[in-house]
Amino acid sequence: MRHNFGAGPCILPQEVFKQASQAVLDFKDGLSILEISHRTPEFEAVVAEAVKLVKELLNVPEGYSVLFLQGGASLQFAMVPMNLLSEGQTASYLETGVWANKAIKEVKHFGKANVVATSKEANFTYIPKDFSIPEDSAYFHFTSNNTIYGTELLTVPVTKVPVVCDMSSDIMSRVIDVSQYDLIYAGAQKNIGPAGATVVIIKDEILGKTTNKIPSMLDYKQHIDGGSMYNTPPVFAIYVAMLNLRWLKSKGGVAEIEKENIAKAKALYTEIDRNPFFKGTCAVEDRSRMNVCFVMENPELEKPFLKFAEENGMEGIKGHRSVGGFRASIYNALPITSVHALVELMQEFAEKNQK
């Protein structure tokens, strides 16, 4: 049996794959989902349901719009300041990893970036705390989960300025209060669906204030007015996201999946802390529930363990080059049985290599 711990594009439920593959063959009257017009009533219903499910699962308040866009979170790094920042203004950013750093670089095309705190000096192994956010900031931006370094910020920093969050790798994994945010964006390829779509949840009243001249394709208001279909949308990615959100709802929603995610993370971190062959890479209080990063106490055993794990069905556990070691991504669709299988493998490896 294969166990998919890949960081993304990541594991999706088998029933979603089956439903999606059927739609590739026959979505409507013998036509594939890949060839129907996005302007048909049938696909408009798909977009409407996907938006409705996002709002329902996250309990999105009135006054917010939900969009399905293209370009990944990387395009949002530029769209956010383009839509929210005016010339001469400063936006505040929390630097907690590679993706936060990439977002900071894009701000400089439109205004100034103020890094309120960083953990770069420690290779992003912790989340900075006790920082202040200037009240004259156009907005405050942070990345909630850091896939490369295995840290996660579960609370929203207190501030009077608009809050923007890159929630690409932990959206839909835990209950959040959307009213604490003014804009949330997330690449779909972790807990929402396949790669190719990006979800944006935006408070309508923060738009229309910038002095920037925004190209139509990069203007949130244009996409809101167009119902996520200003141009041809990523049809298949949205359809599969809709199926996956249906699956999440059938599981009992975000509150129920959060319980499963907590249990999975606890099982794996407990073994990392217990087993003398392994150790975690980041501060215990900042550990991610989605991306568990760890190394060997003896670095010489890392290649043998990786080989042993891969031979026994563990996919995608090699750590990012910035951290090394191992990274087990345990997104929503990964069953706890896969985590137990990895834990047992760690125990078996330790037993075989004891001197």
Q: Which residues are known to be catalytic?
A: 99, 166, 190
116 token code pair: 């309120």
Distance of alpha carbon 60 from alpha carbon 207, whole angstroms: 17
Q: In what order do the strands lie in the sheet with 198-203?
A: 64-69, 198-203, 183-187, 163-166, 140-143, 90-95, 112-118
Integer-rounded Cα radius of gyration of the chain: 21
8 A C-beta contact, residue 202 and residue 55: no
The residue assigned the tokens 């062959």 is 277
Give the number of other Cβ atoms within 10 Å of residue 290's Cβ.
29
Q: Please enumerate, as own/partner, the contacts of 34-39 that have beta carbons within 8 Å and a separation of 24 or more.
A: 34/235, 34/236, 36/235, 38/229, 38/232, 38/233, 38/235, 39/229
Give the Cα separation of 25 and 315 in Å (integer). Answer: 29
Is 310 strand, coil or helix? helix
Residue partners of 345: CB distance under 8 A and separation at least 6: 308, 309, 312, 314
Q: Measuring CA to CA, which residue among 275, 346, 341, 340 is closest to residue 306?
A: 346
Burial class (CB in 10 A: 0-12, 13-18, 19+), 87: exposed
